[in-house]
Structure 1
């Protein structure tokens, strides 16, 4: 029965995936995690529009938002198999098969948005996107989830000791899990589409995501406290099935890359704007916000995650990131 279900799923995904309509014409299925109001939805809508415009209609991108094609891990698997053409999910889901990308999830690695942009737009970012090719993916651009903050239903987080015993949903990323263990919490990885119900029913006490993501997914309905820890930044690489990308001619490849970059730039601008707006809305809707938690108390646990990464990949690339001005 399980084998039949997998076959059925493959047939379904193939039915919505890419087809060559005529010479040089392409329909591409793009899957992502974002809700209809999320910035990733707006950004991929722009990408689809620009790809179609720039190609004079040769490229059509069909969007599948809100994890309608399955959880993030399933979306990546489908893209690697070729049953989905393009995917955008959080970086931690890529690290299950490409541990090198754990670099981007190290706690307190990035200082601010400008630092992130300088690193990801440079040699380090390009090399990390290139590293996806060994897993059958073509990295198109870095979209983002953003700087993560902590919410929970039990108490305000002002120092690291306040995390003790809290059951928090995290991504499956080893750097996140290691850090939260060091910080005294009970990290509980789960797909994001299960988080709201798990918070509502008390299966978990809290979670960690950027303000815009918290608001757009109505987590304020099931969470009382928000602490602006900015403890980690999460990229969301946009990747395409490598074989499918290579099938396209050079001109259309460049068009797709340009459209992907334009969408990513819009998303980052929207996130900066919306984080300010939505923080105020969260306060208005009853969330208690700690604007200045003592992040210095988190540093020991953060160092453990950095050391674990350095043991596998060396500390020179970490140094390159921290030295980036």
Structure 2
């Protein structure tokens, strides 16, 4: 009983004190920390940029560089959040995410656009681009303009092309030097009809697999090999379960940098100009440095004791080209003679 009386008296005393003296919240308010990160957060423009490769690759480093330039030149008004290694979307679903506005920017391999836009297959033609100068002219000239304009039907704006490098072949069975060496091997490929036809012409089977599942499928021997740039092979450790690598330079791997068109149109003229300027600067940077990065990755791969690296001779390359020549006729029936004539002209211009 005494306990109840004591508690009741304590409560009454507390209420009386509060009513008599009042509540002073001034000290409590002044002690709260100010979070400057929240200042103007509603006024910031956030761009989600999703890609699937490692950060220490040409595309990964270009994305970071581009984001930094835009944020600096807009004084933080635009913040680009880069999501690498497919942490946001894989190469199989990033394009739909862009169309639906779930992400603002992506930079897919050009091969990943070929089934939706057949003309893009010309960029996968084997040995079509004999030099880096040929690639630059294709990307920055009429061929690139034609391909990027196709994206408008999906309300996607193509900003530019980014560079990576020439593709090489790895496998776990034996050295690949002649066309016959592909016979009965199984390769991971990107979803491109031209690439699929390339391996069929060489007598190999293929499976279309997401880039970030390639390592696992090599590890469990679901596929015998794959084709990729040296920077991707090294950064994703695709060589670890491969015994042989052929420096073939048979195709070029590059990227299309895309932005959701509705989002783009809602930006101010000033912000669009800044983004385009930063994109031009980044594109020039990655064009130069992608060559260095792939050369460096090749040097590191040569140091791997369990990986044998072979280089095609001129005679062997000619044998590959001869075997793969029918693909050009197949592709022309799908993309049209006008675009193919540009490819032939470019190839002849830069051939030795």
With structure 1 as the length reference, what TM-score do the two structures score? 0.89
Q: Which shows bigger deviation, 124-133 or 110-119?
A: 124-133
1:138-169 per-position Cα deviation (integer Å, ceiling 9, x unaligned)? 10110134211100010001111101011011
Query: Could you tell me which residue of structure 1 aligns to residue 308 of structure 2?
Result: 288
Q: Which of 97, 116, 122 matches 2:116? A: 97
> d(CA) in 2 for partners of 1:184 and 1:261?
41
Secondary structure of the 1:139 match is strand
For 1:134 and 1:257, how far apart are their aligned partners in 2?
21
CA contact (8 A) 2:178 2:319 kept: yes
CA contact (8 A) 2:125 2:327 kept: yes
Return structure 1 stretches of 4+ with deviation > 6 angstroms.
none
Instruction: Give CA-to-partner distance per residue, 1:85-127, whole Å, 9 cap, x none.
Output: 0001111111221111111111111111111001211122122
Q: 2:294 aligns with which of 275, 299, 310?
A: 275
Question: Do 2:187 and 2:224's aligned partners in 1 also have CA atoms closer than 8 Å?
Answer: yes
Between stretches 242-251 and 59-68, larger displacement belongs to 242-251
Q: For residue 301 of structure 1, report the CA deviation from its aligned partner.
A: 4.1
The Cα shift of 1:260 comes to 2.0
CA distance in 2, matches of 1:21, 1:296: 59
Secondary structure, in 3 states, of the residue corresponding to 1:73?
A: coil
Q: Where does the alignment leave 5 or more consecutive residues of structure 1 unmatched? A: 1-19
Report how far residue 71 of structure 1 moved: 1.4
Equivalences for 1:1-325 in 2 at 5 Å?
Answer: 21-22=42-43, 25-286=44-305, 287-293=307-313, 294-324=316-346, 325=349
SS in 1 for 2:81: strand
Give 1:60 shift. 1.0
The structure with the larger Rg is 2
Counterpart for residue 5 of structure 1:
none
* Alignment partners' CA distance in 2, 1:274 and 1:37: 9
CA contact (8 A) 1:28 1:61 kept: yes
Residues in 2 aligned to 1:78 and 1:152: alpha-carbon distance in whole angstroms: 33
1:217-244: CA deviation from partner (whole Å, max 9, x where unpaired): 1112111111011111122101011111
Count, aligned residues:
304
1:150-191 deviations in Å (ceiling 9; x for gaps): 000100011111010110111110000011101111121110
SS in 1 for 2:256: strand
Cα separation, 1, equivalents of 2:109 and 2:119: 15
Is the contact made by 2:182 and 2:202 (CA closer than 8 Å) also made in structure 1? yes
With the length of structure 2 as denominator, give the TM-score of the two structures. Answer: 0.83
Preserved contact between residue 58 and residue 290 of structure 2 (Cα < 8 Å): yes
Distance 2:178 2:81 in 1: 45
RMSD: 1.5
Distance in 2 (CA, whole Å) between partners of 1:301 and 1:77 is 36
Equivalent in the alignment of 1:11: none
Residue 32 of structure 1 and its aligned partner are, at CA, apart by: 0.5
- Any unmatched runs of 5+ in structure 2? 1-40
8 Å CA contact retained: 2:118, 2:334: no
Larger displacement relative to structure 2 (307-316 or 234-243):
307-316
SS state at 1:207 partner: strand
Question: C-alpha separation between the residues in 2 aligned to 1:258 and 1:147?
Answer: 27
Question: 1:3 — aligned with what?
Answer: none
In structure 2, C-alpha distance between the alignment counterparts of 1:179 and 1:232, rounded to whole Å: 10
